[in-house]
Structure 1
Amino acid sequence: MAATAAEAHAAGAAYPQDVAALAGRRFEARQPFGCAGPRPSETADGYVIDEDRRAMTIQMTATSWSDEGWRQAFSAPDSPAEALEGFWLRRPWITSAACPASSGVEGPASGESLGLVRVFAAGGSRIPRRGERPYRTTVKLEPDAPPPAMPLQLVVRGKIADAGGRPIRCRAGGPDQRPVCLVSITLERVSFETADGATVADWRE
């Protein structure tokens, strides 16, 4: 559906009814992280293992879209958007929750092209906003026990928001650039899970 919305945007076509019909549907998005191993710092997204304390610290930070263009894209005349927070879906061309295969060749990463966004209207409650607060937890590792099954997974659950009948909105810098699309959501739950499905940490709205 995101590809359908992107194509319509690039072609200047009418908003697809199949995309509009997504409003209210539940979704679950999974993506792996920590594929390259532990991070060098506890303040970085990913995970760090402290062997002395036998503890693993896991952290992921939500994205904030602060530019005026995206705020305008999700604003309505009677409900201007004040803040947009959510998650980029890394490597949206991979539909499984597996790490990408290594080819031994390093190159520049592709630009982000698909994300899940919560839209906070001006004058609304600020309590649900994450701001700069990351999703973060520390797990005790038992002596001689194996570490959690890798890769770790960020799991986001909720519903597709109506967003004025346009739940997926796209932008592009020009006709020769791939559109970048954001899916408007109502967030219900964010989890860290292991590769074998065990829940490590859970945040519910």
Structure 2
Amino acid sequence: MAPLRQALLHPALPLRLCWCYRNDMFSHYVDASARASWAAIAATLSLAASTLGGCDRRAPDPVTTNAQSETARPSPTPAAPAISAPSPALTRSDLIAAANQAASAYAGGEELASPDPLVGRNFAVRLPFGCKGPAPNASPEQVSDGLASWAWGADQKTIRLRMMPGDWTRSATLGNAGSAEWEAVEGFWIPRPWSLAETCPSIKADPLQTDVPAASAQTLGIAAVFDAGGSRLGRRNGRAYEYVIRSAGDDPLPAPKQGFRMLLEGRVSSFPSRRAVECRAPGPDQRPVCIIAVQLDRVAYEDAEGGTLSEWRPG
């Protein structure tokens, strides 16, 4: 049995445990080296078990931890872009103020700031007319060009409104302003430029005054300009703006108490000087005549309350 025991306990063999038969009794022999090997194996298995047991415990993901610990913050709403409101349309008072400034600069030999802030602005100007009654001699044709008027028809069953634009194409005032590049210029006077109101004046002429002074000369006008080679839509070419109000029945029409109004709408243009207003005067003691260059988009007749009676548009 000794050789067998030695073979079983050989260091190259994986097991060092043997069972020997001696004297008809089983004896259990485990040498010291076998006990040491088993102790080493047990220690190794214990270490491996502890290592494998910790494999399922992964280190926490810092990104996940932060996402769970921090409260979600809503993304900021981008601010809406600021939208600038369009400039309001210029009115009668705005144009009169600009003309007064231009007249003062012309008389004083001053140069106004450039560029002109009026150029390109929209405007809407109402010109009251017929405040004292119908046209003299019952004929609107007797009224100067550039001024609106009204007249009775037969038996006062009709009222005819009429306005012939002035032909200012060859005006010396506009010629001196260097407007030779314009093919046509049609003019509209602004009566009573000292008044900012767009309605008839409340002052009435004294009926006891026999020597009624003539109306003041016109000193403020609107020039509808048409470039050479440009569109001719909207040009009157010697045709008046006319409209007839008719009675609904056989009864005569009531006399208008506050006259009528002519409405001009469009966009402020400029002279070759890049100014919207040009002024001229024959001498230092005469009030300058000032003209505002525009492009018309709409012309209309209104009653005293602002109701539209008739209108004209280019095209």
TM-score, length-scaled by structure 2:
0.58
SS in 1 for 2:104: helix
**Which residue of 104, 107, 115 corresponds with 1:7?**
104
Q: Distance in 1 between matches of 2:140 and 2:231?
A: 30
Structure 2 CA distance for partners of 1:5 and 1:138, relative to 1, 3 Å: same
2:160 aligned with 1:73: no
**Uncovered stretches (5+) of structure 2, i.e. residues with no partner:** 1-97, 143-147
SS in 2 for 1:96: coil
What are the within-5 Å matches in structure 2 for residues 120-199 of structure 1? 120-143=226-249, 144=251, 147=254, 150-164=258-272, 165-199=274-308
Q: What letter is aligned with 1:110?
A: S
Q: What letter is aligned with 1:102?
A: K
Structure 2 CA distance for partners of 1:70 and 1:193, relative to 1, 3 Å: same
TM-superposed deviation, 1:127 = 4.4
1:4·1:16 contact (CA, 8 Å) conserved in 2? no
TM-score, length-scaled by structure 1:
0.86
What does residue 198 of structure 2 align with? 97
1:154·1:192 contact (CA, 8 Å) conserved in 2? yes
Considering only aligned residues, what root-mean-square deviation do their CA atoms show, in Å? 2.3
Q: What letter is aligned with 1:13?
A: E
Larger Rg: 2
**Uncovered stretches (5+) of structure 1, i.e. residues with no partner:** none
What does residue 32 of structure 2 align with? none
1:113·1:180 contact (CA, 8 Å) conserved in 2? yes
Q: Which moved more, 1:51-60 or 1:28-37?
A: 51-60
Q: What letter is aligned with 1:41?
A: S
1:149·1:194 contact (CA, 8 Å) conserved in 2? no
Q: Distance in 2 between matches of 1:74 and 1:203?
A: 29
Identity %: 37
CA offsets 1:34-87 (integer angstroms, 9 cap, x no match) = 112123125455222225482221111112223244134142xxx623332120
Number of aligned positions between the proteins:
201
Q: Distance in 2 between matches of 1:177 and 1:53?
A: 42
Q: Which has the higher contact order (CA 8 A, sep 6+)?
A: 1
Q: Which moved more, 1:182-191 or 1:52-61?
A: 52-61
Structure 2 CA distance for partners of 1:172 and 1:53, relative to 1, 3 Å: closer
